[in-house]
Structure formats: structure tokens, C-alpha cells
Amino acid sequence: MQLPIYQKPELNIAVPPQIEAATDVQTSRPRGQYAVVSLGCPKNLVDTEQMLGRLDADGYRMVDSVEGADFVVVNTCAFIDSAREESMAAIDEMLALKREGKLRNVVVTGCLAERQQGKLLADRPEIDALVGVFGRNDIVSVVDDLYSGLEEQRTVFKPAAVNPLSDAMRSAVTPRHFAYLKISEGCDRLCTFCAIPKMRGKHFSKPIEQVIDEAKRLGDSGVREIVVVAQDTTYYGMDRYGEPRLKELLTELDRIESVDWIRLMYFYPMYIDDALIDTIAGAQRIVPYIDMPLQHASDSMLKRMARKTTRKLQTEIVHKLRDRIENLVMRTTMITGFPGETEDDFKELLDFVDESQFENLGVFTYSIEEDTPAARLPDRVDPEVAIRRRDELMALQQSIAFDWNNSRVGGVEDVLIDAALPGQQGVFIGRTKSEAPDVDGLIYVSQTDEESPVEIGQIRACEIVASQGYDLAAAAI
């Protein structure tokens, strides 16, 4: 439930330096130039990179300006209201450029396309093509048809694949030193507030061998940090092997010598056992960081959400993880204003967050999702009450996060350097093992020795010299 993610509608994506676009053999010129807008979660970003890889291999070239492109691919999100609004705004912006003659075609892909299908095309007939979640591998034929003037088939929607789609053919959109690794697709959870199973289908896991091959490809290409993502990471392997196999997968990933950091996201609280915890605790490359979206802590709310857990179980899991994994940092997300949430329920949530001391936490107000069980629940919470509760919870979390950051001042931590800070000579932006890309705080690193320059993609020991709210300032050693 992280929004937005790496690209925003106004951001034009530069061609990754490690990718050379294929060209037409006869003319040595690209078949066409395109731009991309990728919205939503990291799983969606992997889909974006897969589509770009296929376009690049077929002779199309990504450019760093929408206005310099022949066509644009808008990969959309439809998870909650704000995500749909952001996706619609991006589509409308691209259609406006098309009307001005600055773009030839607008191709809309991803979850919003999958969820709305014909309605989206009826509302915005200027869209040239719609490609659903599982039609992503047809992106080249869709664009080829547009270039050939064939517009009879403007939509590509396919059922969920029997076997997981490979993510090996990727053109990186993230900085080359980190990448997301998707280990499964879809979700078998029936959380009453969530429409993801309707958009992404049932859970299906990639074979361990396929995941390891993709991870090795990433490591060999220069990726230093792999971020493991799925709709439900701890459920990995259940469909394929008859039991969760995340422990075995992590053991194999930890052996890949070309990768420095492995980060774990989207841990559902079920299927976390002692063997899995011991694997994480004893790993060489798995960083002590776990993202576990819990959504609430009141038993009545957890039951109405169909989360199949309780506050007691969640508390036990959090304590066990912290006791067994040294220096563990945890991220979670919560929802306020879910139908039926009372002040007592909310107080339980506040107490749980105060007790758990999550280093990173995000809060969403409940969003009514059509065709989900929660949309039919009675006792709706006034939106203003949901916002007030969100703000109160975030005020508590701010105090926790700021205290934690203050406690880090004076220490030395390894920082992965993500980028140079624009307009600031000798200042860089990075993250430690405690910060996931795009959703957590940043480390502002100053270069202190010209003879030992700070470089993008480098993991550099840094002294934390100051706390700046959710962010930290550091000096490279």
C-alpha cells in the first residue's frame, strides 16, 4: 500500500545508461521513440520494466521527455481512490499532449486498465490501446499495430497465466544499483477492503529456480540491493509446493555473491515460523528490515477486515522478530476509518503502535472499493473522523520515528548512495539498511574528503551527524 512509487506523472524517465535500445537493421535508426509513466507499487514497476525490455528489444527507444516521444505507455494503479485519481490525471495529461500534436499514441496498461476495461475506453475514447495486467507481454504487438495503422483491436485482456510470467527481460527504470524482485503474482487473501485479487488474480509463485536466475541476472548487471516483493511474501510456494517455501528461497538468494543487500517487503503475519526467522537472522545478505502491513490492531476490526489474525498474535510476532533478529527495523501500514471502527477500536490501534514502536509506519484512510465485501458493510465512518484519526496516529508515529532517528546520531552506518543532490556540490542522497526505497526516510551524505569521492551506487560507511525529522544527515568516512 505504498503510493506513489518511483515515477510520478510529471516525471519523464531517462534512458537507463546500461540499456542500449535495439534498432532497425536497415536504417540503424530506432523504430520509434517512447516515454513511460509508471505508477503504483513496486510490483507494478517490475511490470513496467518488463514491457520496456520488450519494446527496447524490438527496436523502440525510450527517451527522457514525453514531448520528444512518438507514444507514451502509462502503467496505472487502481488500488485506492488516490491511486485511481493519480492514474486518471496522468492519462489526461498525456491525452492533452496528444491533442496538441506532441504525441502520436497513448497506451494505457496495468491495474486501472484491468479494473475498468471498456468503461475507461468509453470515458476516454482518445486512448489508443488498453492492455490489462496479464497482457503486458503483448505490448510490442500492440504498438506495432498502432504504427501500422491497425486499430481494430484496441484492448488486450487475458486471464491470469497458469505459470508466472518471467521478469527476466527488463529495462531498468530504477537506478542501476537497486531493483525489485517479484517472487509471485496475485493474492489468495480475501481481505474485505482489497480489490487486488480481482485485478491480479489468485496467488501463484515463480519456481525457486526462476527467481534465483532472475536475481543472478540483476546482480550480474550491477544491482547491489534486491528488494523482494509480492502481494503476500510469506505465502510464497504454497500453491506450487504445497507449503510455504520462503525459507528455502531466501537461503538460495543469500548465496548470490554479486548482491550485497536483500530487503524483504510485504510480509503477511501468517506463516512466519521459527525456521524462517532463523534464516533471516543468520543470513549474510538479508538486511534486518521487514515490511509487514498489519492494517489494524483491534480484534473486531481485524475480523471485519478478514485478516485472520488477532492483536495478541500480531504482538507475539513483532516481539519474536525483534528478539531473534538483531537490530531489526520494521515498517507497517494501518487503515483508519474502516466501517464500524469505534473510538475504542482506534484507541487499541494507538496503544498497539505505541507498544510496538515501529520505526516506519504509513496510514491510509479507508477508501470504498467497488465489488469488495467492505463496500457493503454498515456503520460507515465519517471521512472527517477517519482523517482525524489518521492524523492522530501519524502524530504518535512521528514522535516514535523522530526519537529513533535522534538515537542514531553519532553512530556509523553503511549508506547505499542513490543519487547526487541537485544543486548541492558534494552532497548525495542515500539509504542505510533501515530505509527501503521510495517509502522511508533519506540520508543526506556530505563528501568530506576529495581524495575519497562518494560515488552513486557505492555502499559507504558514514557517520550520522544530525537528525532532520524523518531524514538524517551524515558525513562520509
- Residue 331 CA to residue 421 CA, distance in Å, equals 26
Nearest CA to 398 out of 361, 427, 450, 351 is that of: 361
Nearest CA to 2 out of 310, 312, 363 is that of: 363
Q: What is the largest CA-CA distance in the chain?
A: 71
- Residue 291 CA to residue 418 CA, distance in Å, equals 20
Type of residue numbered 113: A
Nearest CA to 367 out of 335, 392, 409, 344 is that of: 335
Q: Which residues of 23-42 are buried (b: 16+ CB within 10 A; e: fewer)?
A: eeeeeeebbbbbbbbbbbbb
**To which residue does cell 523482494 refer?**
228
Q: 223 burial class (0-12, 13-18, 19+ CB within 10 angstroms)?
A: buried
pLDDT at residue 339 in the model: 98
- Residue 219 CA to residue 221 CA, distance in Å, equals 5
Nearest CA to 304 out of 168, 192, 143 is that of: 192
Q: Which strand (E) or helix (H) includes residue 86?
A: helix 81-99
pLDDT at residue 85 in the model: 92
Q: Which strand (E) or helix (H) includes residue 312?
A: helix 311-324
Strand-pairing partners, residue 62, are 34
Q: Which strand (E) or helix (H) includes residue 389?
A: helix 383-408
Query: Per residue in 24-38, pLDDT tens?
Result: 333 344 689 999 999
- 284 φψ region: left (φ > 0), alpha (ψ -120 to 50), beta (else): alpha
Strand-pairing partners, residue 32, are 60
- Residue 12 CA to residue 14 CA, distance in Å, equals 7
- Residue 288 CA to residue 283 CA, distance in Å, equals 9
Q: Are 126 and 95 in contact (CB under 8 A)?
A: yes
pLDDT at residue 162 in the model: 67
Q: Tell me the C-alpha to C-alpha distance, in Å, between residue 439 and each of 41, 161, 362.
A: 10, 30, 9
- Residue 270 CA to residue 280 CA, distance in Å, equals 16
Q: 101 burial class (0-12, 13-18, 19+ CB within 10 angstroms)?
A: exposed
Q: At 94, list the grid cell.
A: 498525456
pLDDT at residue 451 in the model: 87
Q: At 163, list the grid cell.
A: 505459470
Q: Which residues of 380-407 are buried (b: 16+ CB within 10 A; e: fewer)?
A: bbeeebbeebbeebbebbeebbeebbee
Alpha helices (H) along 2-80: 42-57
Q: Are 88 and 82 in contact (CB under 8 A)?
A: no
pLDDT under 50 in the chain at which residues? 1-29
Strand-pairing partners, residue 331, are 291, 360
CB atoms within 10 A of CB 224: 19
What is the DSSP annotation of 91-114? Answer: HHHHHHHHHTTS-SEEEEEEHHHH
Q: Which strand (E) or helix (H) includes residue 405?
A: helix 383-408
Q: At 171, list the grid cell.
A: 529495462
